[in-house]
Chain A
Amino acid sequence: MSNVTLTPAEFTLVKFDADQVRALIDQTLGEIEFPVDVDVTIDVDEVLPHPLTASMANVVDGAAHLWYTGGCFESPKRQTGLSVDHTRVELGVGLLRAKDRLVGGFENAPADEQLDDRQRTLWDTYAEGRLVPLGFPVRIPRRRYTFRLYGGFNDVADAAFEQLWTGAPITWDGLSAMAESLAAADTRPERKKSLRKETLRQAPAA
Chain B
Amino acid sequence: MRKQLPPEMLARDSRFVRTSIMDQVMDPRNAKMGERELGSARLQPERPAAADRARNLMHGIFTGEIQALEGAGRTTFDFDDDEAPFALKLDMARQCWDESRHVEISVKLGDWMGTEIGEYSEATFLYEAACAPDPILRLCGVNRALEGLAIDVFNTMREFGDLSGDPVLEFCEDWMLADEVTHVKMGSDWLRRLTADDPERRERALDFQRTVDKLFSLGGFRGESEENPIQLARTFRSMAGFSTDEIDELAEIAAQAQEDARAMVAGGS
A contacts, CB < 8 Å to B: 12-14, 46-54, 69-71, 76-80, 117, 139-146, 148-150, 152-153, 186, 188, 191-192, 194-196, 198-200, 202, 205
Contacts and interface: CB of A to CB of B under 8 A. Distances in A.
A80 B27 contact: yes
A170 to B, nearest CB: 22
Interface in B1-42: 17, 19, 23-24, 27-29, 32-33, 35-39
Contacts of A141: 111-114
A79 B45 contact: no
Nearest to A140: B114
B47 A196 contact: yes
A7 B118 CA distance: 31
A148 B114 CA distance: 11
A51 B55 contact: yes
B238 interface: no
Given A52-B53, A149-B50, A200-B38, 14 more contacts: A47-B36, A49-B33, A51-B52, A52-B49, A71-B52, A79-B24, A79-B121, A80-B27, A142-B114, A142-B115, A145-B114, A146-B114, A194-B50, A194-B164
A51 B50 CA distance: 9
B94 to A, nearest CB: 33
B114 A76 contact: no
Contact of A54 (B49, B54, B113, B120): B49
Given A51-B55, A53-B49, A76-B120, A13 B24 contact: no
A53 B52 contact: yes
Contact of B114 (A14, A143, A195): A143
A77 B49 contact: no
Contact of A139 (B28, B53, B114, B166): B114
A146 B114 CA distance: 9
Interface of A is mostly: loop
Contacts of A50: 52, 56
A142 B55 contact: yes
B19 A79 contact: yes
A192 B45 contact: yes
B166 A54 contact: no
A146 B118 CA distance: 20
Given A139-B114, A142-B114, A143-B114, A196 B23 contact: no
B265 to A, nearest CB: 12
Given A78-B121, A139-B114, A153-B166, A49 B46 contact: no
Interface of B: 17, 19, 23-24, 27-29, 32-33, 35-39, 45-56, 59, 111-116, 118-121, 162-167
A49 B24 CA distance: 11
A68 B29 CA distance: 16
Contacts of A188: 165
A202 B164 CA distance: 26
A71 B29 CA distance: 11
A171 to B, nearest CB: 26
A49 B33 CA distance: 9
Contacts of B112: 141, 145
Contacts of A47: 29, 32-33, 36
Given A54-B49, A199-B48, A202-B36, A148 B166 contact: yes
**9 A-B pairs with the lowest CB-CB distances in the bound complex, closest first:** A142-B114, A141-B114, A51-B52, A188-B165, A51-B56, A146-B51, A194-B45, A76-B120, A47-B32
Contacts of B121: 76-79
Contacts of A195: 46
Contacts of B27: 49, 79-80
B48 A54 contact: yes
A69, A70, A143, A196 — most chain B CB neighbours (10 Å): A196
B28, B50, B118, B165 — most chain A CB neighbours (10 Å): B165
A96 B119 CA distance: 26
B165 A49 contact: no
Nearest to A77: B17
11 contacts: A13-B28, A48-B36, A52-B53, A71-B52, A77-B119, A140-B114, A143-B114, A149-B164, A194-B45, A194-B50, A198-B39
A80 B33 CA distance: 14
Contacts of A71: 49, 52
A50 B119 CA distance: 12
A70 B49 CA distance: 13
